[in-house]
């Protein structure tokens, strides 16, 4: 079960319920992969609903790695996400929110 107090988000990928989490290392990797000036730029894109599928994929991948999964981008590109792109985008947004605010606010 995902623990929102520790920033965890659950997502079912290829039929397996996975726990995603944005650790400091995962956040640094995310910044680098998206070439953001700051994470706040990424947060702003999600708040303004101007995020891309690349943003969602990068967040899910960073969350998986932060949650301890050994997965690469190529594997994730081929994966089946339960609920499709909308569920992936929702999980990505929740990951960002839980990384920066308490769960009752996320």
- Residues near 36 by beta carbon (within 8 Å), at least 6 away in sequence: 30, 42
Q: Say if residue 101 is exposed, middle or buried (CB neighbours under 10 Å; 0-12, 13-18, 19+).
A: exposed
CB atoms under 10 Å from CB of 21, counted, come to: 21
- For tokens 């599928």, the residue is 53
Q: Which two tokens stand for residue 27?
A: 């956040």
What are the residue boundaries of the structural domains of the chain, listed by start? Answer: 4-101
106 residues of the chain, pLDDT tens digit each: 788 888 899 999 999 999 999 998 888 888 888 777 777 888 888 888 888 899 899 999 999 999 999 999 999 999 999 999 999 999 999 998 888 776 665 5
Spatial distance between the Cα atoms of 100 and 106, rounded to a whole number of angstroms: 9
pTM of the model: 0.87
């Amino acid at each position: 079960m995902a623990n929102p107090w520790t920033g965890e988000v659950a997502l079912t990928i290829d039929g397996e319920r996975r726990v995603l989490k944005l650790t400091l290392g995962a956040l640094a990797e995310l910044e680098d992969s998206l070439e953001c000036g700051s994470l706040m730029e990424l947060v702003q894109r999600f708040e303004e609903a101007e995020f891309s599928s690349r943003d969602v994929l990068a967040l899910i991948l960073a969350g998986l790695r932060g949650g301890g999964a050994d997965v690469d981008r190529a594997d994730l590109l081929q994966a089946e996400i339960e609920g499709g792109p909308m569920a992936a985008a929702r999980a990505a947004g929740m990951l960002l929110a839980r990384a920066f605010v308490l769960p009752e606010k996320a």
